[in-house]
Amino acid sequence: MNPLAEELNRALKGTVISDLLSDFGKRFYFPKGIVAQSGEAKKQAHNINATIGIATAEGDPMYLPVIRETVSGLEPKQIFPYAPTAGVPRLRELWKAEMAAKNPGLAGKETSLPVVVSGLTHGIAVLADLFADAGDQVILPDMFWGNYRLIFQERNQAVLSPFPFFAAGGGLNLEALKQRCAENRGGKALLLLNFPNNPTGYSPSRAEAAALVDLLAAEAKAGTRLLVICDDAYFGLFYEEETYTQSLFAELADLHENILAVKVDGATKEELVWGFRLGFLTFAGRGLTAAHYEALVQKVTGAVRSSISNSNQLTQNLMLLALESEQHQEQKQQAFDIIQARYRKVREIVTNLDAPLEALPFNSGYFMTFRVIGKSAEALRKKLLAEHGVGTISIQDKYLRVAYSSVDLDRLEELYAAISKAAREL
């Protein structure tokens, strides 16, 4: 094992991080190679810097004017050079401040400085590498984003262990989750929670969130070492008063020494910049110190370096420009109001829908999902496409996901009328 990895492992010894790391995670480190040496030179090479492999002219990056002319508001050094492997420092600091502002439950709790990743998919893949060995169990709802299977099961050979997301009477099936957790009692478990949920568009109520936190605290007290991944891709898109509107990361940040919480979030949906591929990884755990976080961040940064080298400089600085704008919050609220209006309209429509379809609980995010009663969801999807020119997503041949976020308000009646008609005719 590389001495740098051994040094980081010694720094983490005795913590839940050390117990949770995969073989990959134990082996990883951020090398003191070109990137690290270039970082030192950037601070100290006051005469000539001949370290980093970019082309410069009189100290500034060279560029093609045809590209430069398309980007306004940023200097060439904010567009063309490589970004630091862990991300633009000012953006990392500002994202942490924004996270604290949006999650008052984090007040007084220490977290790592967010590490920039190339979108949430990349962030989850980094976590899978660092924490999931072949055969490790990943607990998650049975209603989950399909890419989790590719990342954890196919790439890392972990075992997906789904539990029924909804209880018979509606709402989160906390008893099923408790049973799954109990299967790993005293050992190691990875728990993946995605709220607002894709594909259902459901987030827990305040009471459900409190019960979920109590459940995890009890498991941790029973000796289970838990990595709890909070996939907050759709964070902030909450439409009902009784919904818990913070990330569970805020509650888990210092809940128990046996829990390592990680918040995977990003600009993708929160800031309406899907193609920017800009996400963040932030860690927290009771009893962890700044030195522990720094050691873990070094491992994360090494994983980023070994996979994509660094995230996009241009998109990071565009996001930074937006976050520092006085109009940022007002414009975000305007976008939220548009999507919330679509949610309200869909809620009204599905309440009176005459078709062999059952709307699963939904209260947030981009989606809602139907259970197709007694018929094939895939057949319904194909019928909608062929006869109505309507695109939807079938899941497990039992469910039909509808992304109302991508449909204008004045076309929602048409959309759901087509779904209802096609379902009746199947």
Give domain status of residue 97, yes or no.
yes
Q: What is the pLDDT of residue 46?
A: 61
Reply yes or no on whether the pLDDT at 34 is more than 70.
no
Contact predicate 112/289, CB 8 Å: no
Domain-ending residue, one of 306, 323, 340: 323
Q: 3-state class of 400 per DSSP?
A: strand
User: How are beta strands 56-57 and 60-61 bridged, if at all?
Assistant: antiparallel
Q: What CATH number corresponds to the domain at position 367?
A: 3.90.1150.10
The beta strands (E) that lie in 32-80 are given as: 56-57, 60-61
Q: What is the pLDDT of residue 270?
A: 92
Hunting for tokens 């096609």 — which residue is that? 422
Mean pLDDT over the full length of the chain: 94
Contact predicate 417/388, CB 8 Å: no
What is the count of structural domains for the chain? 2
The percent of residues in the chain predicted with pLDDT above 90, rounded, is 91
Reply yes or no on whether the pLDDT at 50 is more than 90.
no
Q: What CATH number corresponds to the domain at position 141?
A: 3.40.640.10
Mean pLDDT of 294-305: 97
- Same domain, residue pair 191 and 313: yes
Domain-ending residue, one of 323, 342, 376: 323
Distances (CA, A) of 166 to 163, 191, 250, 305: 9, 17, 23, 39
- Write out the residue range of the structural domain in which residue 313 sits: 3-30+85-323
The pTM assigned to this predicted structure is 0.94
Give domain status of residue 233, yes or no.
yes
Mean pLDDT of 171-182: 95
Give domain status of residue 150, yes or no.
yes
Q: b/e for 186-205, b at 16 or more Cβ within 10 A?
A: eebbbbbbbbbbbbbbbbbb
CA distance 121 to 269: 13
106: closest CA among 234, 287, 284?
A: 284
- Same domain, residue pair 305 and 334: no
Mean pLDDT of 36-53: 68
- Same domain, residue pair 149 and 7: yes
- Same domain, residue pair 319 and 306: yes
Distances (CA, A) of 392 to 61, 181, 263, 404: 45, 33, 29, 10
Give domain status of residue 19, yes or no.
yes
Q: How many CB atoms are located within 10 Å of the residue 145 CB?
A: 19
Hunting for tokens 């977290």 — which residue is that? 111
Reply yes or no on whether the pLDDT at 41 is more than 70.
no
Give domain status of residue 53, yes or no.
no
Q: Where are the alpha helices (DSSP H) in 257-327?
A: 267-270, 290-307, 313-323
pLDDT level of residue 37 (50, 70, 90 thresholds): low
pLDDT level of residue 256 (50, 70, 90 thresholds): very high
> For residue 354, what are its two tokens?
């005459």
Strand order across the beta sheet in which 259-266 lies: 115-117, 279-284, 259-266, 225-231, 188-194, 137-141, 159-163
- Same domain, residue pair 315 and 250: yes
- Same domain, residue pair 119 and 182: yes
Q: What is the pLDDT of residue 344?
A: 98
What's the alpha-carbon Rg for the chain, to the nearest Å? 23
- Same domain, residue pair 377 and 306: no
Amino acid at 391: G
Can the peptide bond before residue 196 be classed as cis, meaning omega within 30 degrees of 0? Answer: yes
Residue pLDDT, tens place only, 65-93:
999 999 988 999 999 999 999 999 999 99
> For residue 265, what are its two tokens?
């979030």
CA distance 291 to 157: 31
- Same domain, residue pair 264 and 345: no
- Same domain, residue pair 234 and 278: yes
Reply yes or no on whether the pLDDT at 36 is more than 70.
no
Q: What is the 3-state secondary structure (H, E, C) of 403-423?
A: CHHHCCHHHHHHHHHHHHHHH
Q: 3-state class of 226 per DSSP?
A: strand
Distances (CA, A) of 195 to 24, 165, 238, 261, 272: 28, 12, 10, 15, 17
pLDDT level of residue 354 (50, 70, 90 thresholds): confident
pLDDT level of residue 169 (50, 70, 90 thresholds): confident
Contact predicate 61/77, CB 8 Å: yes
Give domain status of residue 166, yes or no.
yes
Reply yes or no on whether the pLDDT at 184 is more than 90.
no
Mean pLDDT of 99-118: 97
Q: Count CA atoms within 13 Å of residue 284 on its CB side.
A: 26
> For residue 262, what are its two tokens?
């990680």
Give domain status of residue 415, yes or no.
yes
Q: What is the pLDDT of residue 381?
A: 98
Give domain status of residue 76, yes or no.
no
- Same domain, residue pair 175 and 225: yes
Domain-ending residue, one of 299, 323, 347: 323
Hunting for tokens 């995969």 — which residue is that? 22
pLDDT level of residue 165 (50, 70, 90 thresholds): very high
Contact predicate 284/16, CB 8 Å: no
- Same domain, residue pair 333 and 318: no
Kindly give, in sequence order, each residue whose CB lies less than 8 Å from that of residue 96, ignoring residues fewer than 6 positions away.
Answer: 111, 113, 114, 282
SS3 content of the chain, % helix, strand, coil (to 5): 45, 15, 40
The DSSP secondary-structure symbol of 105 reads G
Reply yes or no on whether the pLDDT at 260 is more than 70.
yes
- Same domain, residue pair 305 and 363: no
Q: What is the pLDDT of residue 56?
A: 86
